[in-house]
Structure 1
Amino acid sequence: MATGIISIIIVLITVFSVKSYMKKLAGGCCGGTVEPKQKKYNNKNISDYKFSKTIYIEGMKCKNCANHIENELSHLENTFAEVDLKNKLAKVNMKSDIEDQILKRTVEKAGYSVISINNNN
């Protein structure tokens, strides 16, 4: 009986280890291929944006994470976002001021946590 339980535990550990390793091989912590930056950007000319905020984000681990957050933020009306994975932040340029709560919900909807939001104006 004890041998059977130990065998099941070893099999489960092996399965989870292999799944985790395969996920890393497939494209980073998020699995699959790297999410491309989407073409749907508003205007990239920074001088057209009067407002800017920096969002410090927790949970980004790979380029796929950064692209996912950048795509979500850039889909907000009249925004252009750039994510810096190394410094764990997103700079959001806006034509009109967007409430911090909207930015926070957008990042959280993407699956990440907001540490803080700073106005750059």
Structure 2
Amino acid sequence: MSTAVITTLLVIAAVLGIKGCIKRLYSGCCKASGEKMPKRLRVKDKDLSHYPYEKVLKVDGMSCGICSVRVENALNALEGTYARVDLDRGQADVYMKEDTGDEALRDAVREAGYTVYRINRIK
């Protein structure tokens, strides 16, 4: 009897888990909660030759387009930065006019709700 109850509970949990995964797969994690796509923060200067510094941030927790826009907006809100997020690679390419410290970049991403687990200086 107890085996049947445990098996039933496991099947129910598996069905609910699979249902949630499918929902997120087709609508994104944030859209599943009904959240709308945030507006992208507009960067006035997109000429990369004006940005002598570049870092690549590996970001954990991004799983949909809304997540990537949040991270991009958080980094673009910093003075003198231009960031582009690649969701598939889980990274943000950050171009800077001045050498912004790693902690400032980590803090901006953390405030957006995500975690930076590695920063590579490119130039």
Q: Same fold (TM over 0.5)?
A: yes
Q: Secondary structure at the match of 1:55?
A: strand
Q: Deviations over 1:69-98 (max 9, x none)?
A: 011111110110000111100000000010
Residues 26 and 53 of structure 1, relative CA distance in 2, 3 Å threshold: same
Give the AA of the match of 2:29.
C
TM-score normalised over the length of structure 1: 0.76
1:66–1:83 Cα contact (<8 Å) kept: yes
Alignment of 1:28-47 (within 5 A): 28-31=28-31, 32-47=34-49
Structure 2 distance, partners of 1:84, 1:25, is 18
Give the AA of the match of 2:98.
S
2:41–2:76 Cα contact (<8 Å) kept: no
Q: What is aligned with 2:24? A: 24
TM-score normalised over the length of structure 2: 0.75
Gaps of 5+ in 2: 1-8
Give the AA of the match of 2:30.
C
Q: Deviations over 1:25-57 (max 9, x none)?
A: 894101335524524213111111011100001
Structure 2 distance, partners of 1:54, 1:34, is 27
Structure 1 ranges of 4+ moved more than 3 A: 23-27
Report the number of matched residues. Answer: 114
Structure 2 distance, partners of 1:42, 1:107, is 21
- Percent identity over paired residues: 38
Q: Secondary structure at the match of 2:92?
A: strand
Q: 1:57 aligns with which of 28, 40, 59?
A: 59
Gaps of 5+ in 1: 1-8
Give the AA of the match of 1:28.
G
